[in-house]
Amino acid sequence: MKCKYCGGDVTLNDHFCPHCGRPVDQAQRHQKEMQQYETEFEETKQEAINKIAVNSGGGTAVGIRLAMIVALFVALIVIAVNMDSYSINQNREKKAAKKNYDSYVEQIEQYIADRDYAALYTFGNKHDLTYNEDFKQYREIFYVAGDLANIIRALQETAFIEKDTRDLYYAENLSKYINEYYDYILSESYKSGAEDPEKIEKVYGETEEELAVLLQKYLELSKEDTDSLEGLSKSRRTVMIEEALDNKIVSVTGVGLSDMNKVELPAIGATQEAEQ
């Protein structure tokens, strides 16, 4: 399986691409399904064991062996289903997308009209549309919407840092996500193969406006700063973002991002109880 961002090899066990560090959406869905199957397996196994134990008088050797055989049989079924769950899900989504093509297109166009690119990314990811050939006219838009979604998640982590002990993986990679975003929209590779390059260029311009608003709000960058991002080198862009991010975290916690792991912050629940 290939990472949809960098093309590197990834597996269904990778939460994040080992090459570019970006989330592997297919793997996250697969792992969620795996957890569901494991829960169902444990429940089914225990139910079978309980029934056999009751019918065999509470635990004869024959009853125990039979329970183990039944449990093993159930486990084999679950493993077989798990191994193919990803392809099953892909096929299911592909059929649903073909059946609901018009309504999906209508929803995608509505997200674009509303400039709700985070929701567009979620919709495309949920229905596995990014690489669906029937929706290839939106592929470049799904890509850049995914970049923006990662940036939003990183900024949200900084917004709630004073109330949460969550992992700061996304926040720590904010400058990387922003550089990837600009690398992509400035490459203009979409112009060679896109069905409607003008539409894509319009969407890119809108996402850049959204990014500027977010950075001004969450990192308190000035308009002059955000206006300059596109023209900066990758290193200068990195320095600007990381300095702003560090200043934000210091203002909230008293320590910089590099020291965050050494600081124990209150969990959301504890904070809410204290406020009450």
Work out how many domains the chain is built from and give that number.
2
Alpha-carbon distances of 1 from 8, 37, 192, rounded to whole Å: 8, 22, 25
User: What is the pLDDT, as a whole number, of residue 265?
Assistant: 46
Question: Is there a domain that residue 1 lies in?
Answer: yes
- The reply to whether 146 and 263 lie within a common domain is yes
Give the residue, 216 or 167, on which the prediction is more confident: 216
pTM (2 d.p.): 0.64
Is the same domain home to 187 and 230? yes
Angle, CA of 65, 69 and 74, to the nearest 5°: 145
Structural domain contains residue 251: yes
Q: Is residue 112 located within the same domain as residue 242?
A: yes
**In this predicted model, which residue has the larger pLDDT, 84 or 126?**
126
- Is 95 a domain residue? no
* Own/partner long-range contacts of 168-172 (Cβ < 8 Å, ≥24 apart): 168/257, 168/260, 169/16, 171/245, 171/249, 171/257, 172/257
pLDDT above 90 (res 87): no
pLDDT over threshold 90, residue 100: yes
Which pLDDT band, with edges at 50, 70 and 90, does 39 fall under?
low
In a domain, 146, yes or no: yes
Same domain, 47 and 127: no
Question: Is the domain of 5 the same as that of 55?
Answer: yes
Higher pLDDT, 17 or 127: 127
For the segment 129-147, the average pLDDT, to the nearest whole number, is 91
- My answer on whether 66 and 120 are in the same domain is no
Do 58 and 140 reside in the same domain of the chain? no
- Mean pLDDT score across all residues of the chain: 77
Residue 112: per-residue pLDDT: 95
What is the per-residue pLDDT across 43-54, written as a single tens digit (0 to 9) for each?
666 666 566 555
Average pLDDT over residues 65-76: 65
Q: Is the pLDDT of residue 171 over 60?
A: yes
Do the domain assignments include residue 258? yes
Q: Is 93 within a domain?
A: no
Please, which pLDDT band fits residue 274 given cuts at 50, 70 and 90?
A: very low
- Does 153 or 30 have the greater pLDDT score? 153
264 shares a domain with 206: yes
One domain for residues 54 and 122: no
Residue span of the structural domain in which 184 resides: 101-275
Rg (CA), the chain: 24
Q: What is the pLDDT of residue 92?
A: 83
**Neighbouring C-beta atoms of residue 185, cutoff 10 Å:** 23
The verdict on residue 91 lying in a domain is no
Instruction: Give 195-261 as a DSSP string.
Output: S-HHHHHHHHHHHHHHHHHHHHHHS---HHHHHHGGGS-HHHHHHHHHHHHHHHHHHHHSS-GGGGG
Residue 254: pLDDT band with limits 50, 70, 90: confident
Q: Are residues 111 and 226 in the same domain?
A: yes
71 and 109 belong to one structural domain: no
Domain stops at, among 50, 83, 116: 83
What is the predicted pLDDT for the residue at 267? 47
pLDDT tens for 194-245 read 778 889 999 999 999 999 999 999 999 999 999 999 999 999 999 999 999 8
Query: Does residue 111 share a domain with residue 77?
Result: no
